[in-house]
Amino acid sequence: MAENKNNRWKLLTDQLRNKYRLVILNDDTFAEKFAFRLSPLGLIIAISAITIAMTTLVISLVAFTTLREYIPGYGDVTERKDILNLTVKTDSLEQILKARDWYMKNLVNVFEGKTEGKTDKPAKDTSGKFQKVNTKPSENDIQFRKDVENEPANIKFEGSGFKKSVLANYLFFSPVKGLVTESFNVSEEHFGVDVVAKKDAMIKSTLDGTVIYSGFTPTEGYIVQIQHDNNLISIYKHNSSVLKKMGDKVKSGEAVAIIGNSGETSKGPHLHFELWHNGLPINPEEFIVF
């Protein structure tokens, strides 16, 4: 059996390697015009090589030329870019609509006098992990509290208790140019100045700093609070809108809000501007010319 298989395989290989002569003759004169020698194995190799070359050429044309646009399933490159741009714009519009719905919902709640409900109390710790933690104050802490509570109050406003030299080297930028309609008055608990300016005037940061609050309250309207160096805080109230969010870094003279008439305590379009240093209010007119 093994010898028969070997004989058959040898016979097949010999037939594939046999040389044949292909001759092209003139039909009338039988003169030989063209002739070449070939074998079945060589013919198979030549056809395979031509097939591989043609397949590679077609794939290259489809992959790297514009011919692929004529093949069903392939689209134009510019159309794909347009589709991607439209997708990005649609996503942005969706976010804008969500923000506008949230804004309108809050406005309706403010007009209807609704307020946020109380937050849920945190659940008690039942794991026992923190039950052994000592939360009682130490003797030094108790004594320090007593000293602070018994210390006479000596807080003074408007000049006598505040050292102007601390902020003398600061160059304050005027938040807005306008007319001061109500000045700083501690006795009436008016801890800032009211400045009337042009409609839609830009309100600018008085110094470099970081926005520590940007939001809306029913009484004060849209508010921006900025933390500056040397424990100095500037506050901008009754804006029609705010241009910065919490955590933003701002430069002196950079717009942070637009003048407005928001809040229940506002009596007209103006800016209520306050300056606080080390937790105490100071008169802005001593440092800024409005």
Tell me phi and psi for residue 179, to 5 degrees. -110, 125
pLDDT for residue 38:
78
- Between the alpha carbon of residue 171 and those of residues 5, 168, 177, 211, the distances in Å are 104, 8, 16, 19
pLDDT for residue 21:
79
Q: Averaged over 134-159, what is the pLDDT?
A: 67
Q: Which position has the higher pLDDT, 280 or 110? A: 280
Q: Which position has the higher pLDDT, 41 or 212? A: 212
187-206 pLDDT, tens digit each: 888 999 999 988 889 999 99
pLDDT for residue 224:
95
**CA-CA-CA-CA torsion for 158, 162, 167, 168, nearest 10 degrees?**
80
246-274 pLDDT, tens digit each: 999 999 999 999 999 888 888 888 999 99
Q: Is the pLDDT of residue 236 over 90?
A: yes
The domains of the chain are located at 9-64, 77-114, 169-286
Residues of the chain above pLDDT 70, percent: 82
Structure tokens at 152: 């006479």
Which of 215, 217, 246, 210 is closest to 231 using CA atoms? 210
Pick the CATH number of 169-286 from 2.70.70.10, 3.40.640.10, 3.40.190.10, 3.40.718.10: 2.70.70.10
Confidence of residue 226 (pLDDT cuts 50, 70, 90): very high
Q: Which position has the higher pLDDT, 122 or 168? A: 168
Q: Report the alpha-carbon distance of residue 41 to residue 46 in Å, rounded.
A: 9
- Between the alpha carbon of residue 40 and those of residues 7, 8, 13, 48, 186, the distances in Å are 19, 17, 10, 12, 111
